[in-house]
A and B are shown apart, each in its own frame.
Chain A
Amino acid sequence: MSDINTGMVEKYRNNFLKEVEANVEEGDWVKMCMQCGVCSGSCPMGPYWDHPPQELFMMIRAGKRDEVLTSTSMWMCTSCYNCIVRCPRELPITHIMHGLAHYATRLGIEPKGQPTRQFAQLFWDNLAKNGRVNELWLGVNLYFMNGLVEGIKVAMGMAGIGFGMLKAGRLSLKELVGGHTVKDKKGFKAMIKKAQELEAARIDNAQ
């Protein structure tokens, strides 16, 4: 368990709802849920969640901290926004799902090996490097996410599409070395650093 996580457990004790309100993006909306269930029923990924949004909200209120934060559920959200559109109380459910996922990651207790989470991390690492997404490397990293053998298999399977993209100019082999960047890469890095400092300070304050 990370230090931050221990700190948060100490601080909020049995009041997980308060913890969510203070630390999770849009978390103060959780108490507004009236448990109608229209979000869960409207979710296209619904059948694949362990706990649909409505249940997560109830679990938060019931103080089921570990079950919620280590759950793979909120990682299943594809940001289709169907739930927000249908929610009779206009809860920003999509944002809360991402907020919970992000908070769990910050605490270091997110579910390991969850593919959506892994892809999100790959995407971020890729983007944070140059300020632009390097699609070639993102693809390669994604294919080899589950090991060398699996990677080669996937890459072979996708070869046709890859060559097509190369031909159409949608993919460039030049991306293998360096790749394209934002104009002011130094400024971009400084911006990310500052944002991370602010975020770290916020967590410290919260503890």
Chain B
Amino acid sequence: MSDIVATNQTILVVGGGISGMTAALEAAEVGKQVIVIEKTPSVGGRVTRLYKYFPKLCFPTCGLEINQRRMAANKNITVLTMAEVTDLQGEAGNYTATVKVSPRYVNANCTACGACGDVVAAEFDDEFNYNMSKHKGAYLPHNMAMPKRYVLDPGIIGTDDAQKAKDACKYDAIDLDMQEETIQLKAGAVIWATGWRPYDANKIQPYGYDRIDNVITSVEFERLMDPFGPTGGKLVRPSDGKEAKNVAFIQCAGSRDINYLKHCSRICCMASLKQSTYVSEKYGDDADVSIYYIDIRAIDRFDNFYQKVQQDKNVTFIKSKVANIVENKANGNPVLNGVDTEGYHRYQNEHDLVVLAIGMEPSVDKDTFPIELKVNDEGFIEFDEVNGGVFAAGCSSDALDVNRAVQSATASALRAIQVVNKVAQAEGQ
């Protein structure tokens, strides 16, 4: 790691998701030195786990590939994966970050041939698929992983599996002696792009996420559609693998609720409208989708998409926040109880599968930032002078969709560039 050059003119990007990638590219492509710190073994973040984008219903893999190629081709960008910022000191123009780099046990010789994965027996929960499937002890995080390099799960280190993997490798790519490293990096400005995580659905007790197999979250539903996902792209429910044709979406699951997240997570309405098209895509006219909502927030041009879904006769909109869900023990169907607002009818509706349109919260807990930042009640970083040369990008600044996250990232790149330009001027360069 000693070969990494970082100076007061370097821009440090914390997080390698869509926002971090965008900010890094924008800054690097105007000639700035950028270091990206990514916690997981590959860049791309949550976008890599999406099947389709709204409103165009195109595949995120497309734009992701373009960004990855831009990054690979750019000499100004250094990416550190499996790395976390543990401390950050200093001020605008002069920061020192302490970065902990976890061992990958696989070096740059790796060709992703997969021989190590074939011989390893141990399996671990695959976080990439929200633990709905397992990955081997030696694995590629996902098909489009960048860097395209295998990882050894720390769980197999010291076991026979580790040695088997090493022996199977024809390229001398497995190094079982790799150790955790702590390095210090200088930076003039920091772009904080740590993104979001889905709200913990277990906290919404009346919806029984922890008790009812066929109640899942929207991020899990998204993974079902991936041909390489936990179900191989089949839209089936978890309890018995039955085709999920009658699907209910519950909006504001965790959002806009003083008991959970106070803010509107912004993406969930569009996400559910988008996901309603997945059911039609799989089952055509057999699809029977119900969307339970307080109000649909499809702003600006998204309204066109909303109107299109409204015209789909297989999609029903029910204006009601569902009160609770119980399970029909006979067939595993979740039963939704509530009262609708259009006529105040009490309903007890049974569905094959219930998808909670889960809220978005910042992935870094409030009060755990390594440096003083202005953070609002919801944990998002505000734009404020107190932050000095640290600029929030994407979902660390607010609940945003990809489009707005990218705009936010570009803005933060521009701000960071101004800081390092000042440093350059002061240093007479």
Contacts and interface: CB of A to CB of B under 8 A. Distances in A.
A46 B324 CA distance: 13
A87 B257 CA distance: 8
A54 B252 contact: no
Interface in B176-234: 206
A55 interface: yes
A46 to B, nearest CB: 7
Nearest to A89: B258
Given A36-B321, A37-B320, 5 more contacts: A37-B340, A38-B322, A41-B320, A88-B252, A88-B258
A40 B344 contact: yes
Contact of B341 (A46, A54, A86, A90): A54
Interface string A47-63: 10001101100100000
A54 B338 CA distance: 12
Interface of A: 34-38, 40-42, 46-47, 51-52, 54-55, 58, 85-90
Contact of A42 (B252, B294, B295, B323): B323
> Which interface class (under 10, 10 to 19, 20 to 34, 35 or more) fits B?
20 to 34
A202 to B, nearest CB: 30
Contacts of B344: 37, 40, 51-52, 54-55
B339 interface: yes
A45 B282 CA distance: 41
A42 B324 contact: yes
Interface of B: 206, 252, 256-259, 294-295, 319-324, 337-341, 344, 346
B261 to A, nearest CB: 10
Contacts of B341: 35-37, 54, 58
A162 to B, nearest CB: 38
Q: In terms of DSSP, what is the predominant structure of the interface of chain B?
A: loop
Given A54-B344, A55-B344, A37 B339 contact: yes
A41 B324 contact: yes
B319 to A, nearest CB: 8
Contact of B320 (A36, A55, A85): A36
Contacts of A35: 294, 319, 341
A38 B258 contact: no
Contact of B206 (A40, A86, A87): A86
B294 A41 contact: no
Name the residue in B295, B321, B341 with the highest tally of chain A Cβ atoms < 10 Å from its Cβ. Answer: B321
A181 B277 CA distance: 70
A86 B323 contact: yes
B414 to A, nearest CB: 37
A87 B323 CA distance: 10
19 contacts: A37-B319, A37-B339, A37-B341, A37-B344, A38-B322, A41-B321, A41-B323, A41-B324, A41-B338, A41-B339, A42-B206, A47-B346, A51-B344, A58-B341, A85-B259, A86-B206, A88-B252, A88-B259, A89-B258
Contact of A37 (B256, B259, B338): B338
